[in-house]
Structure 1
């Protein structure tokens, strides 16, 4: 069934949505994006996602296509148009069509390209929650401003393909023997004492919205937390590992570089935290 997408002020069938070949998002990856989860037909943590969108645009001197409040109203209409109950809304803003290929930024008269579409997918009852995922480590070759959510995603795509070629589901990215992130999510370990550890915010990692929500829940529920860098060796010897993002919530990791993590099953603390998060997410979206 064809979806309705939003493109430059119009809601159109996906088959009739077209972007110029001279769009800078296509030619230079000169664009940013956001992905907001949709649960029970409603947006989850969307204010934080839109705030991060504004931050990414500001960092790249990219003009927002319209006020954030208007963007949210467009998102909500798109959810209704596609009768989406569970999944995500993808949003992308590029610097637009400057008329030809030119490295220089176009003048201020060029209108940004603004695209949104929905993706139906299981968030709560995803099979990876019960079976866990397998990961491999890989050198992090991404650019140095990973806190800006740009569409320059070739390195993460290569990382995922490397993982699949090595009989794994995803890659854990390593820089100077320290874990940065997974290919498209934040990374966490749990040590032998039950302490949850994740890398602190910096330009080396994306400032994950789900990561932030989890930190608040960890503190509210009296769990131990350390925000600090951790090594690949620490990850290999961790009691539990998991990844977090807007569309995975939390996925447990059961193996890394062929080494079994814990007893080779999704960890107890990981699943406990995921249950807390899902309960919070359901309350937030059912209560609107």
Structure 2
């Protein structure tokens, strides 16, 4: 398989700079990073890609068996890094991609040397002593609605996920991105995302890690950010003065400032 074509890889910035891999979340694609790339490209080799089933990826490469778990997406990340021979890259993952990055770093420690987790959640469902933000019944209803009418679900949920109701153009953009994702593949990715439990995987992280959370986030409440910070040894937690689940779109200046400060502090 041609990994470049499969994942629609794009490389920009300083070819001699430390690699930074930007990984989008569910229902999105690499275009969601357009406000982040300019802040990084001057000093870094910036790598963007689309997960299979998203954006301009090769849809013929989709396999429900492979992408029915986060491990399949993590394997894609490792193969993208290998195809470009990346070493000591910084992996920036939004939402579910933060957990995918944890798995990829464990699979290929020579290729991923630091993590930036933007609004991560290792488990969306509440558990004893853990608040993920949703009950099991909530997630069952969410997935049933998505599977019954994906376009309708997208139109209803994307503005909630984005937040910032006073800026409807942001919710409209996320709705458009969701609707552009192949429904059958989106259903698989959604189940993989919302039913995953990566809490134990956080204990394996041994690289410098930045956790970015928002003051208000309907998908990943602040209790989740605190949990991730406690679980990842030596991690740094930054609470952005931002609302919603996609601060790289709703508050790009604050997000970029936090990421570049973290990068500047890496050895």
Q: TM-score range by the shorter chain?
A: under 0.3
Q: TM-score, normalised by structure 2?
A: 0.25
TM-score, scaled to structure 1: 0.24
